[in-house]
Structure 1
């Protein structure tokens, strides 16, 4: 299966799904999802797997057991290549177009503590600052959920307090609706951006390397 880009039908599908997130719509348009969304994602991630590893293509169904919002289907499609627990590269298609990213998406307990220790360290912390500055200069957006207060055990005047507040650290770039997303060339963009994010992934891997495996996976 060759990757030829994300068809316009994929974006139209999610536009319509946002307006009619029902089982009846899904069942009558499932062939569009399979052909225009799932197949391109499978082809793209298969193409990138030799360099980055196998991807998980997320299920389109929402887990609504404990959610107030009971709409049954996700209004985006994502794929994730893991470099560790909740750590790795991401690509997403939604009504807002295509987006790529990488970083850690969840870190609790010992893993978050290890990452904060590495940020606090006067060698590895500044190295992360420089790395993020280079990515920002290259056009990436630095984000992720953060505490509004100072993390316990750290001073509000810490030189890297903004980084220490991160509960997630995600760096990404939107491609939006650029014509390239409908062509095979978008695979090159994803590959190049994932390569650019590899130093960040490596930094995070090293930060949690000493955390016992049973504590990393929570």
Structure 2
């Protein structure tokens, strides 16, 4: 089926799930609504997005059950519905729906300190660092928030007056935009918003692929359509 948006009941489901995250409530009240109002539209959105990202393997939709093994939060079910597209190791695109609306982003999520060190070395370089700072500035002017895990202070050896200290603090980066219910979430416009956001974040992903990742066979092409 063609993606036509998320119904208002999809957002209300996550309000209800935040209030009662029990297995009994999921079985009796939440599961049927989830499958109809959340999972089915997200599957349709993922299929639509995948037509624009054929070379990258397609958009994957996450399941509703949380993995609580390594978490202090033992609630059983996720309070969001996520989907992602892996472009390269540690680099990808993300979208999720929750009770507040829709969020779409580009992400760099290294698993090893060596990757963080490689990123910081690239930021320290005058040309590469200035290029990333300009990209980040343009994204913020378009309404993006540059989030992700980062140090509270500064990396060892970096002076307090470093012109790119904010970027050097990052250990992960998530550059995204949030859309509330009035942005068109209940129509096909929601799919356009995700595509526009993923397009806008392309320069950041290209920079990461070229300068911050361990070299890959296709390091300079992350298959984000123009």
TM-score (norm 2): 0.88
Alpha-carbon displacement from aligned partner over 1:7-51 (angstroms, at most 9, x marks no partner): 112111111000000101111221211111111111111111132
Paired position in structure 2 for 1:167: 171
Alignment of 1:34 onto 2:38: no
Match of 1:57 among 38, 57, 61: 61
* Equivalences, count: 213
Alignment of 1:5-154 (within 5 A): 5-28=5-28, 29-52=30-53, 53=56, 54-154=58-158
Shift of 1:209: 4.1
Show structure 1 runs of 4+ deviating over 4 A: none
Change (3 A) 1:39 1:70: same
Alignment of 1:183 onto 2:179: no
3-state secondary structure, aligned to 2:184: helix
Shift of 1:212: 7.3
Change (3 A) 1:107 1:151: farther
Change (3 A) 1:81 1:100: same
TM-score (norm 1): 0.91
